Amino acid sequence: MYLSHLKLSNFRNLQDAELFLEPGVTIIQGNNGNGKSNLLEAIYILSIGKSQRATNDRDLVRFTTKDINIKDESLGIHTKVLANVEKSNESTKIQCDLFEIEHNGKKAEPQQSNSINTLKQKHLKKLVRINGIKRKISEFVGEVNAVLFTVQDLELIYGNPKTRRRYLDVLISQNNREYLMALQRYQKTLLQRNHLLRSIKMGVSQMDELTPWDHHLVIDGGFIIYTRLNMIQKLSKLSLDKHHLLSPLKEKLNVIYITDVQEQELSCDQSHISSLFKQKLSASLNADVIKGFTTVGPHRDDFKITIDDMDCSRFASRGQGRTATLSLKLAEAEYLSDARGENPLILLDDVFSELDSVRRDMVWRLVSQYEQSLITTSDIKDIPNNSNHDMKMFQIVKGNINPIN
């Protein structure tokens, strides 16, 4: 799999960017603050349907008065990310648009003036399409598989459990649509159950009203825990192999799933996990009512990375943590490649600047084996000396991208 064409309109600081790409390694060089990370973020949106770093789609929009393409404006579109994806003699057009809607949900009519204040008064809606046909997010996710390496990957060790859960959910959803749909159902059910718990606390609702919500929560929650557990076991094995390549000390890296289900029961099948979850949910009912939210379930789970049985978040040096997260991301790439039968896109955002020369060479050797890798750097000297001289290079300056001859 590789991208042959990428076009961005009004995405963060990228006003009108267009790249024609080829298989192999592509280097995007530019100083900090010029849009390198924004470019890779846009590509990754085509993989998971949303930004990996923005909490609100409005953060992705470039609000100006003069940069909106007239053709796109007539369609109500403000921000666009579009790519041609080449797979096994098949070309697919993938597109994600953000456009304005009025408060009543109708698409906004074109305005004579698109001032920042006027645009901010309207809502933004996301539209995703495959070959021009509108799709649900659940149908869109996984059409393009990508692995994104960033300097923020250390958050997988030192960050909060929500960051790690999101990482797992994004990875699994790229290859398992059933999981994504179960996750969406679970989140909706959880919202309804929490609302009902608060209503029970106020004396408005009765306990028995929880029964149907608990039933759905247990079915989808058990499936989510079971699927995550299996993924963690695969990642742990693959990560250990990669870690032995990157670490001269040959330390033992392990990835461990942490859930309310007892650890000794984690090898059980899905039905047993659902049964254990049901028991935990029942046992926590009084506490849930008092607190007004559901205190057990996959929405509270976590995972940790250990080196020689020591928790990385507590005992690992920054260098050890960097090697561990690189191992995890490289394991992610291998998993997607094996599971989908095609290479994912490899996106590295200024990662080489954080590595010593030995690890740079090793990471380069591993990622350059994939069909297409896009690598950003602020200093071209960070690219390993033994790299392929035939790689394609672009320079980005203030959001403008041009090839380097």
Query: Tens digits of per-residue pLDDT, 381-405?
Result: 888 876 655 789 999 998 899 998 6
DSSP SS3 for 203: coil
The residue that leads in pLDDT, 385 or 140, is 140
| Longest CA–CA separation in the chain, Å | 72
pLDDT tier at 250, thresholds 50, 70, 90: confident
What is the H or E stretch that residue 220 is in?
A: helix 211-246
pLDDT of 262: 66
pLDDT tier at 181, thresholds 50, 70, 90: very high
pLDDT of 68: 47
pLDDT of 267: 61
pLDDT tier at 3, thresholds 50, 70, 90: very high
CA–CA dist 125, 137 (Å, integer): 12
pLDDT of 29: 94
Cβ atoms of 27 and 377 within 8 Å: the answer is yes
Cβ atoms of 143 and 94 within 8 Å: the answer is yes
pLDDT tier at 110, thresholds 50, 70, 90: very low
Cβ atoms of 88 and 141 within 8 Å: the answer is no
What phi and psi, each to the nearest 5 degrees, are found at residue 98?
Answer: -115, 130
Range 158-341: architecture per CATH: Up-down Bundle (1.20)
Query: Tens digits of per-residue pLDDT, 50-84?
Result: 988 888 888 888 765 444 444 444 455 578 999 99
- Region 152-176 average pLDDT: 94
Range among 109-118, 259-268, 309-318 with highest mean pLDDT value: 309-318
As given in the structure block, the two tokens for residue 39 are 């470019």
Q: How wide is the angle at C-alpha 45 spanned by C-alphas 137 and 171, nearest 5°?
A: 75
Residue in this structure with the two tokens 């990996």, named with its chain if needed: 52
Q: Is the pLDDT of residue 108 over 90?
A: no
Q: 176-194 burial, b for 16+ CB within 10 Å, e for fewer?
A: beebbebbebbeebbeebb
pLDDT of 260: 85
CA–CA dist 238, 78 (Å, integer): 41
CA–CA dist 236, 333 (Å, integer): 13
pLDDT of 386: 64
The residue that leads in pLDDT, 101 or 25, is 25
Q: Is the pLDDT of residue 89 over 70?
A: yes
List the domain boundaries for the chain: 158-341
- Region 161-189 average pLDDT: 96
- Sheet hosting strand 24-29, strand order edge to edge: 146-149, 345-349, 372-377, 24-29, 392-397, 400-403
Cβ atoms of 42 and 115 within 8 Å: the answer is no
- Rounded to the nearest integer, the mean pLDDT of the chain is 87
pLDDT of 65: 42
Q: Is the pLDDT of residue 106 over 60?
A: no
For residue 157, count other CB atoms closer than 10 A to its CB.
22
Q: Is the pLDDT of residue 99 over 90?
A: no
